[in-house]
Amino acid sequence: MRLLHQAPVETNPLQLLDIPIPEPDAGQIRVRVLTCGVCHTDIHEVEGDLKLPRLPLTPGHEIVGVVDKHGPGVNLPPCGTIVGIPWLAATCGKCLYCQQGRENLCANIRFTGFHTDGGYAEYTLVQSGYCYPIPQKLDPISAAPFLCAGVIGYRALRLALPFNTLADYCPKQNSLNHLTVGLYGFGASAHICLQILKYWGCQTAIFTRARVHQEHAWQLGADWVGTAQETPPFKLDAGIIFAPAGELVPLALSHLNPGGTLALAGIHMSPIPSFDYSLIYQERTVRSVANSTRQDVVDLINLAAEIPLKTTVTTFPLHQANEALIAVKKSLLPGAAVLTGESARS
């Protein structure tokens, strides 16, 4: 499904085209795509909220597939291995950020389905070292949302919650049961985060307008569910905004305890309105979440298998990618949307 020009998703801008099966160059792996999750970032790419480095482009960066062929100099993972491919496609490994272990901020970073052709296709290429074996207990359809929605949500939790040591980065069950956390917007990322927070023992408040998302949050065990204009019965130690709506920032700050952190998890957000200094006083913090590291992906996949995380997924065949984007944009679905090939269902 190729994007030839940016346009509203309602105009069906993706076109089903036959193009040659790509051949892996040195250091690359070819993957036969089984499933690809549909992310809000894809909507921002398709509609022009994000300036694309090139067109035409095949979107998609929540990919699960089978290693199909190695390029020169690559022999792992073996052919036949089921792997996941996330948003992070490559980093330089040489800049200050890479040397400091903050490769998500690399000066020369590249992204799947943005700089490279992604997973809205039957085959895709990935750089060696930037795909991850998927545990057998995670099926390809359920695992696809972990590769962006899950890992960005997981990184947002890391940045928002008061972890003090590296060991605390991967808390165990019920280890954070004194913390209260709010999630704003309840789509693919938040429904994964809620399960992680419950596993960690946190008390949770979900802020969302859509009735289908409110019901989904209650079903997954949220402690309180309402709209952003409502006030939960407890103050929050941390909050994460997934919705690309800047007007939520002052509302979310009003719910934070002193010293709390508000993380903004989207790659794009509408303008943030001015707000009174009292909302951020008492050492409250607002911070963005930019991409993820390879270690984030590894940790999230391992945690998903340990809990185990269960994604709520609506599937669409590849040729219905436009319909899937519309459903995600209009908040018509609980959880995530995933594009599938027939081989993913067998």
327: CATH: 3.90.180.10
C-alpha 19/C-alpha 2 separation (Å) is: 10
C-alpha 52/C-alpha 214 separation (Å) is: 34
**Does the N-terminal peptide bond of residue 56 adopt cis geometry, omega within 30 degrees of 0?**
yes
344 has pLDDT over 60: no
Of residues 191 and 173, more confidence is placed in: 191
Residues 283 and 316 in one domain: no
What's the average model confidence in pLDDT over 12-41?
97
User: Which of 242, 258, 288 delimits the end of a domain?
Assistant: 288
pLDDT band at 346 (very low <50, low <70, confident <90, very high): very low
pLDDT band at 171 (very low <50, low <70, confident <90, very high): confident
User: Which of 267, 288, 309 delimits the end of a domain?
Assistant: 288
Residues 226 and 313 in one domain: no
238: CATH: 3.40.50.720
Residues 6 or more apart whose CB falls under 8 angstroms from that of 242 comprise 153, 183, 184, 185, 186, 187, 189, 190, 265, 266
Residues 100 and 198 in one domain: no
Residues 318 and 243 in one domain: no
Q: Is 48 left (phi over 0), alpha (psi -120 to 50) or beta?
A: left
Output the pLDDT for position 237: 96
Residues 52 and 127 in one domain: yes
Residues 127 and 187 in one domain: no
Give me the chain's average pLDDT, please: 95
C-alpha 319/C-alpha 340 separation (Å) is: 9
Output the pLDDT for position 170: 72
Q: How many domains does the chain have?
A: 2
C-alpha 317/C-alpha 339 separation (Å) is: 5
272 and 246 Cβ atoms separated by less than 8 Å: yes
C-alpha 235/C-alpha 126 separation (Å) is: 44
Domain span at residue 320 reads 2-150+292-345
164 has pLDDT over 70: no
Output the pLDDT for position 167: 53
Q: Is the dihedral angle over the CA atoms 158, 161, 165, 168 positive or is it negative?
A: negative
C-alpha 73/C-alpha 242 separation (Å) is: 40
342 has pLDDT over 70: no
Residues 41 and 112 in one domain: yes
Residues 324 and 242 in one domain: no
What's the average model confidence in pLDDT over 216-225?
98
166 has pLDDT over 70: no
Measured CA to CA in angstroms, residue 219 lies from 312, 334, 335 at distances of 11, 11, 12
Output the pLDDT for position 28: 98
Residues 6 or more apart whose CB falls under 8 angstroms from that of 214 comprise 186, 206, 208, 225, 226
Residues 189 and 177 in one domain: yes
pLDDT tens track for 32-41: 999 999 999 9
Residues 116 and 156 in one domain: no
Nearest to 143 by CA among 313, 328, 333: 313
Output the pLDDT for position 116: 98
Residues 138 and 237 in one domain: no
User: Which of 269, 288, 307 delimits the end of a domain?
Assistant: 288
145 has pLDDT over 60: yes
pTM score, two decimals? 0.94
Residues 296 and 256 in one domain: no
168 has pLDDT over 80: no
C-alpha 112/C-alpha 117 separation (Å) is: 7
